[in-house]
Structure 1
Amino acid sequence: MKNFLLAIAVFAVGFSLKAQTTTAPDAAKKDVLVVKEAVYDFGKIPQGKPVYHNFSITNSSTTPLVLENVQASCGCTTPEWSREPIKPGASAIIKVGYNAAAAGYFDKPITITYAGGMVKQLDIKGTVWTAPEGSAPANASVDFLKKQNL
């Protein structure tokens, strides 16, 4: 009986050790995409003026890397990128544009899909301000200068 219990205990310990050393396929994948900056703050920008920022990315693997997709969270944000493979050790640019149509704070994620389903996120943010309505107040100095040039 002792031998039987000892055999069960050894089997249970061996089985639990084997379960702990098994890695999931995703955990074994090495992240090969290096992003120089993951977040860019535009600060305050005027309403109605589109803004752009270039995110620099680098392929840290030993094989060419293809960006499968770069997708923004809404239609006001437009990413542009090359569909060509990025050579090992080489860098590329993802140009992200934001259409500043709506006033107020914005924080927009951009999702990069690469290397068979790996994902990385970029982020742009800032505040869109609205110019005051109506024309600028009259400036007596400008009127004076206009009369001098006659």
Structure 2
Amino acid sequence: MKNLKITALLAVLAFSPFYANVFPVTPASIVKKVAEAAKWKSETIDVGKIPQGKPKLIRFEFTNTSSQPIMIDKVAPSCGCTTADYTKTKILPGKTGFVEASYNAAAEGAFSKSITVTMSDNQNPKVLSFKGTVVK
């Protein structure tokens, strides 16, 4: 019985350093690297006053700050009055990409709209917003 306890203790001690290297100690650093893959020039744009009946094009630009190519997987405008276009090819490290929103300025008055962007490197979507006032 004593030999069994000693063998079990030696087995636990022998495998302890192995398991210590398997689990990451600081998962926050991994999250930080993923979150910084796309550096946006601006996440909110105020377009000011725009004329009624003329669509307004709003452009959001970003730079790939990671060491891997990234791609925009999905772009979803918040309403039917906004359409979106975006870079559809891989964005190499250090290169720039874009998301464009075209807002149909049909109704007079203040507006605030958003576009949700999902990238290949990160499944947490980025919400970009723009606002302004439609005038006659």
Which TM-score band (shorter chain)?
Answer: 0.7 to 0.9
Deviations 1:76-116 (A, max 9, x none): 11110122110011001212111001111100011110124
Structure showing greater radius of gyration is: 1
Q: Percent identity?
A: 41
Unaligned runs of 5+ in 2: 1-24
* C-alpha contact 2:40 2:62 (8 A) present in aligned 1: yes
DSSP 3-state at the match of 2:34:
coil
- The reply on whether 1:46 has 2:51 as its aligned counterpart is yes
RMSD: 2.0
TM-score by length of 1: 0.66
Residue 93 to residue 116, structure 1, CA distance change in 2 (3 Å): closer
Q: How does 1:57-72 map to 2 (within 5 A)?
A: 57-72=62-77
DSSP 3-state at the match of 2:63:
strand
Q: Kindly provide the amino acid, as one letter, of the partner of residue 51 in structure 1.
A: K
Deviations 1:16-61 (A, max 9, x none): xxxxx6748x846521111001111111111111111221111111
DSSP 3-state at the match of 1:127:
strand
Work out the CA distance in 2 between the residues paired with 1:69 and 1:122. 13
Work out the CA distance in 2 between the residues paired with 1:28 and 1:39. 22
Partner of 2:129: 123
TM-score by length of 2: 0.73
DSSP 3-state at the match of 2:111:
strand
Q: Kindly provide the amino acid, as one letter, of the partner of residue 69 in structure 1.
A: K
| Structure with a larger share of its residues in strand | 2
Partner of 1:30: 34
Q: Kindly provide the amino acid, as one letter, of the partner of residue 133 in structure 2.
A: T
Structure 1 runs of 4+ aligned residues shifted over 6 Å read none
Q: Kindly provide the amino acid, as one letter, of the partner of residue 123 in structure 1.
A: S
Q: How does 1:85-104 map to 2 (within 5 A)?
A: 85-104=90-109
